[in-house]
């Protein structure tokens, strides 16, 4: 494939930036890939593993004369990073982000972007429970959705060029309104993470009662259900603080359903339980059959990729 951007700067060198670096390099999509991360330790690890062509100690050096700047830091840090880099952005450059929440990132970043620079918010629906500069791998985005939430009046050529990069990294892309994105992701990603974290908390509480047995004999159901509870605490703290309303809305609905099932169990209403599980099983199977389950975990791929990027 051919070069789409001459120079790409990755700000924040974790799972997503690292996977982008591998995917761009493997497919020859960037003339030069440079990077910056806040912690000196992360920068050193990135240099040791050759993640980028250059890793800078100063974020402004990374964005100077750069065609595409990718903000790949926790959602709560996006605004501050945008403010730092804004005076050094090249006219005509594109700034995108990969944050899991869109409305609050747009509110935090857009005011800092100078005229003549294109800000195109985005979100790859792909990840693992691993984080940091060694966790990325080239195939992370393959067959995954990468949503763009362009602002009204965005430069269509700039959006198309970013779309070309995303497609060339193996992803599928679509456009969405930021508020709709945040509601959809609250259902499909944010609430499930909170529930998984909670389930581990419950198991830990019970462990004290059962004398370690909960952890020792943790069944496949618990393991499958709670894999995502091993995810980065900073990232998820920021997601919940910045997608507050949608997450609280979905958790309210979840709690109502849970109470309904709880009551059915208490009343011995087997018919209600069976009907509910029959309906939800059909929905879940439908997702797989429609081929929309490409974001489901694949443990073989993840562990292989994470250790051998
Ligand atoms: N992990 C996932 O599954 C996933 C999937 C899609 C999108 N995202 C989003 O992508 C972004 C990055 O997530 P990740 O999983 O790659 O995280 P990560 O923890 O693996 O990496 C984050 C990087 O940001 C750096 N960083 C933190 N604060 C910074 C700051 N103020 N300035 C500069 N660097 C800073 C850290 O040093 C680290 O290198 C987040 O916004 C997250 O919501 C994550
Ligand atoms: O597979 C996982 O480990 C993930 O949690 C990835 C996942 C998701 O919920 O699907 C997590 C957060 C993102 O913003 C996008 C993808």
- Pair 65, 39: CB distance under 8 Å: no
**Dihedral sign (CA 167, 170, 172, 173):** negative
Any bridge partners for residue 15, and if so which?
Answer: none
Q: Compute the distance from residue 125 Cα to the ligand 2 centre, in Å.
A: 6
Ligand 2 in reach of 194 Cβ (< 6 A)? no
Fold of the domain spanning 180-300: 6-phosphogluconate dehydrogenase C-terminal fold (1.10.3660)
Fold of 5-176: Rossmann fold (3.40.50)
Kindly list the strands in the beta sheet with 30-36, ordered across the sheet, starting from the edge strand earlier in the chain. Answer: 54-55, 30-36, 5-11, 68-71, 94-97, 118-124, 145-148, 172-175
How far are the Cα atoms of 24, 128, 242, 244 from residue 141, in angstroms, in the given order?
A: 11, 11, 24, 27
Which residue is closest in CA terms to ligand 2's atom 14?
100
CB distance 125 to ligand 2 below 6 Å:
yes
Mutate to test the pocket of ligand 1, among 9, 11, 12, 43 (most ligand atoms within 8 A of CB): 12
Phi, psi dihedrals of residue 26, rounded to the nearest 5°: -60, -35
Counting from 1 in the atom list of ligand 2, the atom nearest the Cα of 128 is 3
Residue pair 99/123 in contact (Cβ under 8 Å)? The answer is yes
pLDDT per residue of the chain (309 residues) written in tens, 0 to 9:
799 999 999 999 999 999 999 999 999 999 999 999 999 999 999 999 999 999 999 999 999 999 999 999 999 999 999 999 999 999 999 999 999 999 999 999 999 999 999 999 999 999 999 999 999 999 999 999 999 999 999 999 999 999 999 999 999 999 999 999 999 999 999 999 999 999 999 888 887 666 666 666 777 888 889 999 999 999 999 999 999 999 999 999 999 999 999 999 999 999 999 999 999 999 999 887 776 555 443 333 333 233 222
Closest-approaching ligand to the CA atom of 226:
2
> Of 228, 190, 85, 94, whose CA–CA distance to 148 is shortest?
94
> Where, residue-wise, is CATH 3.40.50.720 in the chain?
5-176
Among all ligands shown, which has an atom nearest to the Cα of 16? Answer: 1
Mutation pick for ligand 2 pocket among 12, 76, 238, 295 (CB with most ligand atoms within 8 Å): 295
Residue 240 CA: which ligand is closest? 1
What is the residue whose two structure tokens read 């603080």?
Answer: 241
Which protein residues touch ligand 1 with a CB less than 6 Å away? Answer: 11-17, 37-39, 42, 72-75, 77, 80-81, 98-100, 123-124, 127, 131-132, 232, 235, 239
Ligand 2 pocket member 100 (CB < 6 A): yes
* Residue limits of CATH 1.10.3660.10 in the chain: 180-300
Residue 124: nearest ligand to its CA?
Answer: 1
What is the reported pTM?
A: 0.93
ipTM of this complex: 0.98
Nearest CA owner, ligand 2 atom 15: 125
Ligand 2 near 128 CB (within 6 A): yes
């Amino acid at each position: 494939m051919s070069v789409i951007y001459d120079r790409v700067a990755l700000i924040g060198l974790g799972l997503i930036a690292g996977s982008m670096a591998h995917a761009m390099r493997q497919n020859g999509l960037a003339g030069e890939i440079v990077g910056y991360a806040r912690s000196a330790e992360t920068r050193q690890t990135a240099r040791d593993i050759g993640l980028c062509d250059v890793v800078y100690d100063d974020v402004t050096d990374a964005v100077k004369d750069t065609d595409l700047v990718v903000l790949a830091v926790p959602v709560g840090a996006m605004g501050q990073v945008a403010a730092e880099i804004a005076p050094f952005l090249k006219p005509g450059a594109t700034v995108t982000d990969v944050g899991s929440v869109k409305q609050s990132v747009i509110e935090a970043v857009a005011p800092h972007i100078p005229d003549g620079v294109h800000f195109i918010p985005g979100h790859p629906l792909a990840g693992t429970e691993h984080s940091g500069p060694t966790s990325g791998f080239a195939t992370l985005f393959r067959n995954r959705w990468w949503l763009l939430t362009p602002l009204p009046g965005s430069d269509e050529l700039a959006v198309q060029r970013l779309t070309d990069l995303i497609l060339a990294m193996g992803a599928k892309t679509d456009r969405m309104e930021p508020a709709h994105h945040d509601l959809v992701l609250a259902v499909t990603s944010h609430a499930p993470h909170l529930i998984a974290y909670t389930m581990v908390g419950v198991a830990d509480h019970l462990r004290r009662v059962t004398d370690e047995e909960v952890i020792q004999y943790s069944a496949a159901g618990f393991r499958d259900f709670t894999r995502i509870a091993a995810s980065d605490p900073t990232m998820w703290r920021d997601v919940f603080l910045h997608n507050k309303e949608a997450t609280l809305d979905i958790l309210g609905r979840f709690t109502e359903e849970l109470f309904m099932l709880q009551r059915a169990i208490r009343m011995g209403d087997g018919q209600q339980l069976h009907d509910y599980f029959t309906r939800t099983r059909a929905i879940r199977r439908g997702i797989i059959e429609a081929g929309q389950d490409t974001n489901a975990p694949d443990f073989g791929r993840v562990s292989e990729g994470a250790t051998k990027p």
